[in-house]
Structure formats: C-alpha cells, structure tokens
Structure 1
Amino acid sequence: MKLAELKDLLLSDWERYTRLGEKLGCEQMIINALTGKNHAASFLFWWRIASSCRRRTPLGFVAHFMTDRIGRKYGIQIPIGTKIGRAFYIGHGIGIVINGNTTIGDNCSISQFLTIGSNKGTPARIGNNVYIGPNVCLVEDVVIGNNAKIGAGAVVVKDIPANATAVGNPARIIIKQTEL
C-alpha cells in the first residue's frame, strides 16, 4: 500500500471520529493514537498501519505491537489484512470479533459485542454506508447491502438487501426503502 493511500484511509477514519477531519490534521490524529484518548480510534489507527507495513520494519513492529496490545485490552479481534473500506467507525470498541476473510465497505459503523463469524471460511460481505448495532451476530456467508441498518441483538443468517433495516433473532426486515 502506498503512503498516500494509507494517509487517505487514516484521515477518512479520523474524520468519522472527530467530524473535523483535515482541520485537526495528521499531527492531532497521531497524538490521539499515542495517548489512547479514544481506544477504538487508536486501535483502528495502528491496525491500518499494521495492515500496510511489514512486521519486520520498525513502524510495522510498533503497529503490530500496539494493535495486539489495544486489541487484547478491549477484546477487539480484527485480523491484520481484513478488507475494510474508508471511513470505518468503531463505536464503544469492546468485544468485537471479525473473521479475517470478511469484506467491509466504505463509511460503515459497528458497535460493541459484534461477531462476524464463519465455520466454513465464507464470512459476511458488508456493503457501503452500513450501520451494525450492538450485540449483533452475522453468521456465515451473508451479504449486507448498501445503506442497510442492523438493529441491536440481531442474529443475521440471511442476506439483508440494500436500504433495509433488520432486527430480531433471527433477523427479519422491518423497513425496506427504495433507492431514490
């Protein structure tokens, strides 16, 4: 990954956390990551770097170490190299387990106690602009469409179409909006 691409990913994530993006700049983002004022943002910062650097480089070693340290402390398990798009947001980052083969689109938000799992190696594929509430389980090979919302406590075992809101165990669609 090129440095410009990594910077773009980091700033897009940072903008989701601060709502100010470039105005606070890279320096403030790095200070936040080092001080750990927001552990989820700090984890994501180091995770992005670890996903783009080899472990043997000095920066890669530090990034892997910090990702592992923060991840263990707060129970965040997102394997290095998982495909996650721009402007990712982890709200209340604790108790998060995501399968390494998961694909997550741009502008997605996840909440605490999320599990995206797979016993067969085919985990969820999540579209753009998706919100996933707390205590949600995405089981096996499901596709979550763009602009979908998944309510708290849902267990998703079937695909959720674009622009839909799903809740319950098993998850069922309660609102499906058409695209404009």
Structure 2
Amino acid sequence: MLKYIKSDLYRYSGKTDFVTLFVYFLTRYSFRYLVIMRLCSGSRIFRFFLFPWHKYMSSKRIQIPYQTEIGYGFYIGHNGPVVINPTAVIGDNCTIMQFTTIGSEKTTAANIGNNVYIGPGTSIIENVTIGSYVTIGAGSVVTKDIPDNATVAGNYAKVLHFKNQGNLLKRIWKI
C-alpha cells in the first residue's frame, strides 16, 4: 500500500520524501484523493476510518471506487473530474487527464495496460482491452480493443500510427 502511494507521489513530483508527500497531500486534490483511495483499498482498519472521507471526496470531482484495481504510478492530470467503474483494471504508470470516463453499463469495464496516456475528454466504454504504451488522443471515444504501442484518436477511436509510444508519460515509476 505504501509502495503504491510512493509511486503515485513520484509520478506527481519526481520525489518520494516525506516533506513532498505532506505538501502534495495538502495542495493537490487528485493526489490527496489517490492517497485516501489507496489507504481504503489496503486495509479494513483504514477503510473504516477513511471511507466517509473517500465517499465525500467522490461526490466532488473524482469518482474512483476503492475496489478498482490500479497499478503503480497512477497520475490524474488537472485534478479531474474523472469517473472510473469499479470493474476497471488499470496497469502501471497510467496517466488520466481531466474529463475522462471509464465505464460500463452491461459487463466489466476496460482492461488498460501499462504506460498508457489517456487524453482529456476521453470515454472508454464497456469491456475493451487497451494494450501497453498506448496514447489515446483528446476527446476520443474508445469502443474497440487497442493494440500495444498504438496512438489512437477520434470518435470512434482509430489507430493513427505505431510511432512515439509513451512519449507523453513523464516520470515513469520503475518497478
């Protein structure tokens, strides 16, 4: 649990010391939300005390249930708003920008690989698989699987090319 928080802090600041943790917890809404969510998902004791805070924060800008499987180094750009279905699986070093929705009405939500950049205003709908080192452009609507190393954009998202994979990801957490 602490290693997840440390990896998230590294993605936000490039540092992992306690002072940076304290400063970012106080000043960055999205980082504070991730810390509370990670603590709620880690232990029943933390969940008992922090779940009301998590529920309150989820009613504001970011809605990520603590049951959601999220890998190391998760980054939410511009403090949300972001909505993620609890059945989504998100890999390591994923960057999600503002106004993003990962949802599902009928089945499980998306399975997102490692080192993925999801641009602002993106909707990922239903049970799709997104490979590793994928860049999803702003305003895209993803309804079909995306292969590894692809850059996609559009409504409905189409593969544009297989060059420059992962070039928008900053401060990659090494596992």
2:24 aligns with 32
Quote how far apart the aligned CAs of 1:61 are: 3.2
Aligned equivalents of 1:28, 1:178: Cα separation in 2: 31
Q: Find the partner of 1:67 among 49, 54, 59.
A: 54
Q: Which residue of 2 aligns with 1:3?
A: none
- 1:17 aligned counterpart, secondary structure: helix
- The reply on whether 1:100 has 2:86 as its aligned counterpart is yes
Between the two structures, name the one with larger relative contact order (CA 8 Å, sep ≥ 6): 2
Residues in 2 aligned to 1:178 and 1:27: alpha-carbon distance in whole angstroms: 35
User: What is the number of residues matched between the two proteins?
Assistant: 165
Query: Are the equivalent residues in 2 in contact too, given 1:43–1:66 (CA < 8 A)?
Result: no
Provide structure 2 residue ranges, at least 5 long, that are not aligned to the other structure: 166-175
2:28–2:79 contact (8 Å) kept in structure 1: no
Aligned mate of 2:39, from 39, 49, 56: 49
Over the aligned positions, Cα root-mean-square deviation in angstroms equals 1.7
Distance in 1 between the 2:22 and 2:48 partners?
Answer: 17
Residue 16, structure 1, aligned to residue 20, structure 2: no
- Which of these residues, 113, 121, 126, is aligned with residue 107 of structure 2? 121
Q: CA deviation at 1:66?
A: 2.4
* TM value normalised by structure 1: 0.85
Deviation at 1:31, TM superposition (A): 5.0
Task: Give structure 1 regions of 4+ aligned residues with deviation exceeding 3 angstroms.
Answer: none
1:88-133: CA deviations, max 9, x gaps? 0010122211110100000000011111111122211000000000
Q: Which runs of 5+ in 1 are unaligned?
A: 1-5
Which structure's CA Rg is the greater one? Answer: 1
CA distance in 2, matches of 1:9, 1:38: 17
> What do the CA deviations read for 1:119-163 (whole angstroms, capped 9, x no partner)?
122211000000000110111111110000000000001111110
